Amino acid sequence: AGMGRTVVELFYDVVSPYAWLGFEVLCRYQHIWNIDLRFRPAFLGGIMQATGNKPPAMLPKRAEYILKDVKRMSKYYQVPIQMAKADFQRVLGTATLGAMRFITAIDMTQPQYVEPLSREFWMRFWSQHEDISQPENMLAAAGQAGLSSDVAQKVLEMISSPAVKNRLKETTEEAIKYGAFGMPAVVAHVNGEPHLFFGSDRLELLASVIGE
């Protein structure tokens, strides 16, 4: 980390389209702002369960709003999210635990690939509507992100290991400790104080707190 860079942690799960928006904006600003951006793959299901949160789309009026909101935001930020009403059911029915363990295993072994790999999972889940819980889709995502097939295969074998499971669990618990109840959860460390920002629409406040 550079001298005096503000550490900014991004806790995310690829199941969340808002996390994708927040991720892309922070990726674009990581070399403009004086920040040390740290990707923290976590498990949204674990956060929801621990905090008693419910998927926002369970409220019909809010679900209606989310469809319009995500469409506007994806256009504004140029992030290719394709979202339809059917996706709410798809999200509830799809386990991203495997994908988040896969990203965690990469974070532990080849951290330089975390950014392209995470983006690839979001692309597949939110643009191409693939089932990213399938091993062949995880391997394809890894290949697209630049990993060799040997490494990708090893990583796939790692996802059932206690080390990877524990790391994902610990990261998720850390997010909860900071006060997270959903995703994305962005934590900026300013003068030894953690500042939590929820969602992808608080980034100008983040900028203000870190002096940008």
Domain ranges of the chain: 6-210
166: which residues sit within 8 A by CB, 6+ positions away? none
Q: Kindly state the DSSP code that residue 33 receives in the 8-state scheme.
A: S
Catalytic residue among 16, 74, 118, 200: 16
User: What pLDDT is recorded for position 93?
Assistant: 65
Contacts of 177 (CB under 8 A, 6+ apart): none
Model confidence, pTM: 0.94
- What is the per-residue pLDDT for 83? 87
| Contact indicator for 180, 156 with CB cutoff of 8 Å | no
Q: Which residues of the chain have pLDDT under 50?
A: 1
Residues 6+ away with beta carbon under 8 Å from 17: 70, 74, 81, 83, 122, 126
Q: Is 148 a catalytic residue?
A: no
Contacting residues for 187 by C-beta, under 8 A, at least 6 apart: 8, 9, 11, 175, 178, 194, 195, 196, 197
Res 198: pLDDT? 95
CATH number assigned to the domain covering 6-210? 3.40.30.10
Number of H helices, E strands in the chain: 10, 4
Please enumerate in sequence order all residues whose Cβ is within 8 A of that of 136, keeping only pairs 6 or more positions apart, or say none. none
pLDDT at 201: 87
- Residue 207 CB partners (closer than 8 Å, separation 6+): 33
> Which two three-digit tokens encode residue 120?
């690839």
